Structure 1
Amino acid sequence: KILSLLLFFGAGIFFLILMGIIFFVYFEKDIFRKKAIVNYPVPSQRSFKFQSVDTMKYSRDLSREKLNDSLFDLTIDKQIEDIAKIGATHVAIATPYDDEFLPILKRWVRSARKHNLKVWFRGNWSGWEGWFDYPRISKEEHLSKTSKFILNNPNLFEDGDAFSSCPECENGGPGDPRQTGDAEGYKKFLIDEYRLVNSSFAKINKEIITNLFSMNGDVAELIMDKNTTKSLGKIVTIDHYTDTPKQLIKDADYLAKKSGGQIVLGEFGVPIPDINGEMTEKQQARWIGEMLFGLEGNQNVLGVNYWLNVGGSTGIWKEDGTATLAVEIIRRYFDLNVVYGLVYDELNNPMKNVKIEYGNRKTITDKSGYYELKFPENSGENILKFLAPGYFSQEVKLKNKKNQFLK
């Protein structure tokens, strides 16, 4: 009888253990998975890691005229606020670095901080190109002045800012290497500048993007070989204007392949009359939309800077602050809708390589069943399709919201 009782209780304990294992496998793991889902980070809503709009016509060209005009702060703030609203990560400010212009540069930067924008400093020393009747400076003077400017103004900068010490360097100093024939000297100056600027920011404990040396596309083709690109942090920044969006994308892909780096479009915009002729608002918006659409998923292009916000033929706001049609197009691509989630089979196992389609946008799940898709607002679709071998396809109607998680 004792042996029978022991066997009975032993069987009961074994049964309870077995049921506990079954409960854990089929129920608890799903509970843990749900907890993990809650903590899954929301994907970035950006098309690019670096999204900027340039203010040069006001931040540089009016620097002396508005230096002592306190009412100009209202204009600065309105322009910065408009740029922030379209989903930009940075605002490009082209105010010169000379002591004369430091007060107005600080006013632009202060407004950018107010509207939670990082700054892309795209000014230069006025003497490099002879702005505002400043006497010309040499390469050696440029290096020295730039380092002192950084060290003397640590509070001007914030982690995540970008700093171009010499945008379109070919326009001043020793001259354009296409004309001087001194490509090697030009490369050396850029590398010396990059190293000195990095060292200066390290001394003030700021993490700044320092390798955005904007240059004409033809100069980049001449200068940015693989060794030079590697020495400059594997980034090639081009100020490039073309007749068609397709040509701009083609040129960016070509330079990425040739240089071994990623591309930042330091300037792009339409219309440039000598290249694009005259354009209506609709034609400008269509050109920009086609270009941004063509860059979707392009791993060669790291960032873009639209040139420019107000003034000139490429402006996307009118002088009175009225937005053109292009503003909404840029906003759609700078501030994307995102759908993301996890795909499981009937046993709650994650499914790898499930195809997800949204119009002409496609992706697949990774080994954990995770996927994400980004798309502009008003893209004309609201159905997400799931396809996997051996399963019926499924369709899910998306809600009208910025971020959606689907399981």
Structure 2
Amino acid sequence: MAFLALFLIVFLFSGIASPSFAASSSRPTWWQIQSIDTMKYSRDLAREKSKDSGFDSVIDTQVKNIAAAGTTHIALATPYDEEFIPYLKRWVNTARKYQLNVWFRGNFSGWEGWFGYPPLSAADHTAKISQFIIQNPDLFADGDVFSSCPECENGGPGDPRRTGQVDRFRRFLISEYQSSLSAFSRIHKKVILVNSTNGDVAKLVFDPDTSSQLGSLIGIDHYVKSPDSLSRDIARIAKQSKSRVVLGEFGAPIPDIHGRLTPKEQSVWLDKVLKNLIPMPDLAGLNYWTNTGSSTQLWTESGEPEPAVDVLTSYYFPSTSTGQVIDEFGSPISSAHIVTPLKSVSADADGHFQIPLMPDQSAKAEISAQGYFAREYNLYSSNDITQIVLKKASPGIIYNLKYLIFRLLGYKIYS
């Protein structure tokens, strides 16, 4: 009988663990891809600065600033021609230094006639893209994004709005996707493929069949005056294509669209845009155009931040609520679900979770797990770890016996 009692105590207490207070190391974000574009320097100066080693300090400063803004990716528009590979590597190496993934948003110069290169046919472009990927495996890392042909309508088969050859344009996009997918498979890199068009072309070409053959992830480069118009257009394109959307380019002010905005007005516009985009479940990522050198710049060319930098950072690097879901005995509940109106996450094996919050706001969350009563909880931004206790929905004999022993021995019951 004594042996049986000892066995029972060991059995009942074998699952007990003191609550752990280690927070998750992964940083919660609103979007999978959070990027800032560097086109004015990574592409437009590619030939001029190709042999200027002193320009590395400029690259370093720009990448450092972009990383500090909470980005997951930096968009590089350096051409894919052999002439520019060394220059592209300088940008890529600096991005890795600051632990950033890269969104490759270049192209072959002949596609749009950059730097005096001769025109390139669609078939030649697709073949050269595959060759570029396979011959430069060290450029890429898992988690990067690759665009073989941003705004393809600007070259090759032409703009389908003018040519009327919508099916031809779709076939070209699919061919580029399949060629790139095969090339990355050969070099064993897990890279996200996104080819963007401008918003009006996207409305024309991205039907469900085409989009499914593009991995059900499509890109749009879209500049509109109103923040509300931007979110409506994204929702419309996501719905018609039955795909998730990446916003390949957006920003303000473009003088012909937004007029001339003061730096303060730019920051207000950006805040409204990002606030509108957070609740959109079909938006996988976004890329602000550009960091510097344009009317939409976030930093002056001397490196001074505009007010919009703080706004973007508050969304790209959001405040968070950190917690641990446990049962009444203090044991972690793995895979508990934490759902707010804007975001849902799952707890890890130790019951820990981190979830982003809107700037200066709390969030009402529903915490649930299989076999437990769900509960609502107000989450606040804090460096402290909040413990959230779920009670068993249908406690059995063993559970009730364990509860009784805890009470008898004076062990803590969490509530």
TM-score category of the 2 structures, normalised to the smaller one: 0.7 to 0.9
CA positional deviation for 1:404 = 3.7
Partner of 2:63: 80
In the alignment, is the contact (CA less than 8 A) between 2:63 and 2:95 conserved in 1?
yes
* TM alignment of 1:120-269, pairs within 5 A: 120-210=103-193, 212-269=194-251
Give the 3 Å change call, closer, same or farther, for CA 294–43 of structure 1 in structure 2.
farther
CA contact (8 A) 1:285 1:326 kept: yes
The question of 1:115 aligning with 2:98 is answered yes
Tell me, what secondary structure is at the counterpart of 1:68?
coil
Counterpart-to-counterpart distance in 1, 2:293 and 2:249: 15
**1:396 CA displacement:** 7.8
1:197-241 alpha-carbon deviations (Å, 9 max, x no partner) = 11112222222222x111011111111100000000001100001
Q: CA RMSD in A?
A: 3.3
The 5 Å alignment of 1:2-401 reads 16=5, 21=8, 25=12, 29-31=15-17, 34=18, 37=20, 41=24, 44-210=27-193, 212-342=194-324, 373-376=355-358, 379-381=359-361, 399=382, 401=383
The C-alpha deviation readout for 1:231-258, integer Å capped at 9, x for no partner, is 0000110000111111111111111111
Contact kept, 8 Å, 1:384 with 1:398, in 2: the verdict is no
**Which structure 1 residue ranges, 5 or more long, are not aligned?**
1-9
Instruction: After TM superposition, give the deviation of residue 44 of structure 1 in Å.
Output: 3.5
Q: Give me the whole-angstrom Cα distance separating, in 2, the residues matched to 1:387 and 1:93.
A: 40
Q: Percent identity?
A: 43
Q: Contact conserved, 1:53 with 1:308, CA < 8 A, in 2? A: yes
In the TM superposition, residue 23 of structure 1 has moved relative to its aligned partner by 8.1
**Could you tell me which amino acid in structure 2 is paired with residue 45 of structure 1?**
P
Report the structure number with the largest CA radius of gyration. 1
Partner of residue 5, structure 1: none
How much has 1:394 moved relative to structure 2?
7.5
Aligned-partner Cα distance in 1 for 2:147–2:207: 20
Q: CA deviation at 1:406?
A: 3.0
**Normalized against structure 1, the TM-score is what?**
0.83
**Residues 363 and 372 of structure 1 are in contact (CA less than 8 Å); yes or no, is this contact kept in structure 2?**
no
Task: Measure, in 1, the Cα distance between the counterparts of 2:188 and 2:374.
Answer: 55
Distance 1:397 1:152 in 2: 49
TM-score (norm 2): 0.82
Deviates more, 1:231-240 or 1:197-206: 197-206
Q: 2-side partners of 1:381 and 1:99: how far apart?
A: 49
Assess, with a 3 A threshold, how the Cα gap between structure 1 residues 361 and 237 changes in structure 2: closer, same or farther.
closer
Distance in structure 2 (CA, Å) of the matches to 1:51 and 1:332 = 12
**Higher deviation after alignment, 280-289 or 300-309:** 280-289
Q: Does the CA-based 8 Å contact 1:73-1:107 persist in structure 2? A: yes
1:406 aligns with 2:387: yes
Show the counterpart of 2:406.
Answer: none
Change (3 A) 1:93 1:354: closer
Taking a change above 3 Å as real, the CA distance of residues 323 and 30 of structure 1, as seen in their structure-2 partners, is same
Deviation at 1:335, TM superposition (A): 1.2
Deviation at 1:364, TM superposition (A): 10
